[in-house]
Structure 1
Amino acid sequence: MYETPPQYPPVLPYATPSPARRRVLPLALLPLVLFGLLFFGGSYAASPEPDVEVQAGFAFAEVDGRDVVLAPYSRHGARGMFQLLTQDLFQVRLAATDPATGDVLWDTQLSDQLIWEASVLAAGQRHAYLATDSGLVIVALADGAVVAEGSEVPGLGDAFAAVRTAYAYDPESRHVMAMNAGGEVLAIALDEVMAVPVDPATAAAWSGRLSVQRGPGAPTSATGVEAALNAGTERIALRQAPNGTPGSVLVRVTADGREIPVGHTAFHGARLVVDGVTAVAAATGHVLVEHQRSVNDPGVALSLVSLATGQVTATLAVDARVDRALVGPDGVTALAAGEVLAAARGDGRVVPLGVGLADFFGSHR
């Protein structure tokens, strides 16, 4: 018996694109891809790094059990067309950096204004508080996210003062103090975000210390020619090098006034780096000296000197004089000098900390 062969649907000529058609689209996109690589990649390779300036208002805080430096800094410019199209040209950012390892835990943008400053007032377990040119800013220590700022701070609202001098920290009561635009004094408990009015006595005490008028920040002195060594009675000082040698040498001044040489290195244009009245790095058995790079080179360098041996254990060239130096809980010293944030460590090294570095896409690391 004859069986009818099975029927199949006809093969349509347009069901599957021809091999030639498959190649048309990628070939058409190839010039665009090459142009994008040359345009964005070439501009990135040819562009210099943006200008970075570390601001003096940095402070230590604890994040995940690590003592870190919270450092505000300005970043002006963009590297390459991709960053120019996607990033703010002017930025002020806050970086959390571990001075012991150099790791940047997080880096967050605070402002897109050309001239804008921030100072870290205090840090608790969860929050850090900054006095800025736009008012108070509260950030989360875990990731740097802005929790509240300006008029968003509960209790301040629209009466907030957009000036750094309206905010300060009271270490005795562990409160951030604030003055609003009406002259009222309020306080925020450490790790809280709500500003509440204070009692009349506290208001009277802080009314003369806070101001809603713009003015220069408090002057800081990061260097000197003589400084204390820890809490002892001995001091470290710079004296004219003997025998007509140009420069200054280090001497240790005892309680009875005797001067004992600390090494024989002569530093030109030298100053001791200090935190208040104490020589930084003294807790780790060192002193830090800011000086000219050589008698013929007025550029600035920082040298760490061992108090025990008088030997220079490390030297770091920087682009400016030291703006501020601060000793951390473990004795590590953080310092700001122009575009450099550096750490003087107990192992005798002075190393720059990598704030302001960004990849091709502008992501900070």
Structure 2
Amino acid sequence: MYQTPQQYSPVMPYETPPPPRRRVLPLLLLPPVLLALLIFGGSYAVSPEPDVEMQAGFAFVEIDGRDVVLAPYARHGVRGVFQLMTQDLFQVRLAATDPATGEVLWDTQLSDRLSWEASVLAAGRHHAYLATDSGLVVVALADGSVVVEGAGVPGLGDAFAAARTAYAYDPESRRVMAMNAAGGVVAVRLDEVTATPVDPQTAAAWSDRLSVQRGPGAPTTATGVEAALNGGAERIALRQAPGGVPGSVLVRVTADGRELPVGATTFHGARLVVDGVTAVAAATGHVLVEHQRSADDTGVALSLVSLATGQVTATLTVDSRVERALVGPDGITALTAGEVFAAARGDGRVVPLDVGSADFFGTHR
């Protein structure tokens, strides 16, 4: 029997694909991106590092069980256009550095003035106290953030004195002593931020030590030709080299006055680096000598000498004389010499500490 054939749907013709869209937007963005890379990246690549000058008012503090140096320094200039747009041209900053490892825990800006100085007075468990040209500044040890400063210090307010000489630390009472603009004396206990009045006897005693008049701080002596060793019974000294040879040699002066040679190295234009009256690095069995780089080169170098062997264990060239040296609780010595901030370690090395470095965005590390 005849059957109706099965019906099939007609095949639709292939659709013509739409023409591809041109990527107009990325092409339009390419020139400004390249221009930005040229301006920002190129300016950073060709710009020199800003000038860094260490200040002498550094101090050892303890942060999370580590002996750390709080070091104020001035940073002049910026590197590249991006930093020029986002950073102050003149900065005074405070860096917390572990001298044993070189690690910078934090680095915070304190001022944007061209000429401005700060000195670390003391630190508690949570706060550090600085005498600055803008008054008292309290920073958090955890991250370096400014807690209070100047007129913001309760108990000082608008009567604060904008002079470093108006502030000092009293280790006996563990208080920061401050003189206000009217000549009154108040005190801030460690880890507190409020200045409170003191008794008349204390006020009278500190009135002669503090001053609201700006002026240079008391000069410090960072070097000498003779210094005490541990305990003070023996001394280390520089003496004229024997036989009429130019330069100086090290001798150890015993308690009974005998002079024993310490090695045979001759130093030219030499001085011993000291902390007060004691030779730095003596606690680790060394002494640090500041001297000319050679008889004909008046540039400055620092050499660490072993007291046991008389051998020079390390030498570091610096750009100026030592301004201040300080021995930490573990015997490590921190020192400033112009742009150089360095540490003399117990393992016989003298190493520069990287303070003041910043990345492309101006973030300090």
TM-score range, shorter chain: over 0.9
Deviations 1:290-316 (A, max 9, x none): 011111111111000000000000000
CA distance in 1, matches of 2:20, 2:256: 95
Cross-structure match for 1:330: 330
Cross-structure match for 1:20: 21
What fraction of aligned residue pairs are identical, expressed as a percent?
A: 83
Does residue 1:241 correspond to 2:251, yes or no?
no
Summarize the alignment of residues 257-336 of structure 1 with structure 2, pairs less than 5 Å apart.
Answer: 257-336=257-336
Matched letter for residue 258 of structure 1: R
Shift of 1:205: 0.2
CA distance in 2, matches of 1:154, 1:32: 51
Shift of 1:20: 3.1
Cross-structure match for 2:106: 106
Structure 1: 5+ residue stretches without partners:
6-12
Deviations 1:321-350 (A, max 9, x none): 101000000000000110111000000000
Summarize the alignment of residues 89-168 of structure 1 with structure 2, pairs less than 5 Å apart.
Answer: 89-168=89-168
Q: SS in structure 2 opposite 1:100?
A: coil
CA distance in 2, matches of 1:343, 1:106: 18
Q: SS in structure 2 opposite 1:331?
A: coil
Deviations 1:261-289 (A, max 9, x none): 00000111100000000000000000000
Does residue 1:223 correspond to 2:187, yes or no?
no
Summarize the alignment of residues 37-116 of structure 1 with structure 2, pairs less than 5 Å apart.
Answer: 37-116=37-116
Shift of 1:256: 1.1
Summarize the alignment of residues 167-186 of structure 1 with structure 2, pairs less than 5 Å apart.
Answer: 167-186=167-186
Matched letter for residue 44 of structure 2: Y
CA distance in 2, matches of 1:19, 1:349: 67
CA distance in 2, matches of 1:48, 1:20: 46
Cross-structure match for 2:14: none
CA distance in 2, matches of 1:19, 1:39: 35
CA distance in 2, matches of 1:241, 1:299: 21
Shift of 1:87: 0.2
Deviations 1:56-106 (A, max 9, x none): 000000111110000000000001111111100000000000000000000
Distance 1:305 1:20, change over 3 A: same
Q: SS in structure 2 opposite 1:227?
A: strand
CA distance in 1, matches of 2:361, 2:259: 56
Q: SS in structure 2 opposite 1:88?
A: coil
Does residue 1:208 correspond to 2:224, yes or no?
no
CA distance in 1, matches of 2:20, 2:215: 73
Shift of 1:229: 0.1
CA distance in 2, matches of 1:317, 1:357: 20
Matched letter for residue 175 of structure 1: R
CA distance in 2, matches of 1:313, 1:143: 35
Q: SS in structure 2 opposite 1:243?
A: helix
Q: SS in structure 2 opposite 1:20?
A: coil
Q: SS in structure 2 opposite 1:298?
A: coil
Cross-structure match for 1:364: 364
Q: SS in structure 2 opposite 1:203?
A: helix
CA distance in 2, matches of 1:362, 1:148: 24
Shift of 1:232: 3.3
Q: SS in structure 1 opposite 2:341?
A: strand
Structure 2: 5+ residue stretches without partners:
1-8, 10-16
Q: How many residues align?
A: 351
Cross-structure match for 2:12: none
CA distance in 2, matches of 1:19, 1:71: 62
Matched letter for residue 364 of structure 1: H
Normalising to structure 2: TM-score of the pair?
0.95
Q: SS in structure 2 opposite 1:297?
A: coil
Larger Rg over CA atoms: 2
Q: SS in structure 1 opposite 2:21?
A: helix
Cross-structure match for 2:5: none
Q: SS in structure 2 opposite 1:204?
A: helix
Q: SS in structure 2 opposite 1:359?
A: coil
CA distance in 2, matches of 1:24, 1:266: 74
Cross-structure match for 1:8: none
What RMSD over aligned residues (CA atoms) do the two structures have, in Å? Answer: 1.4
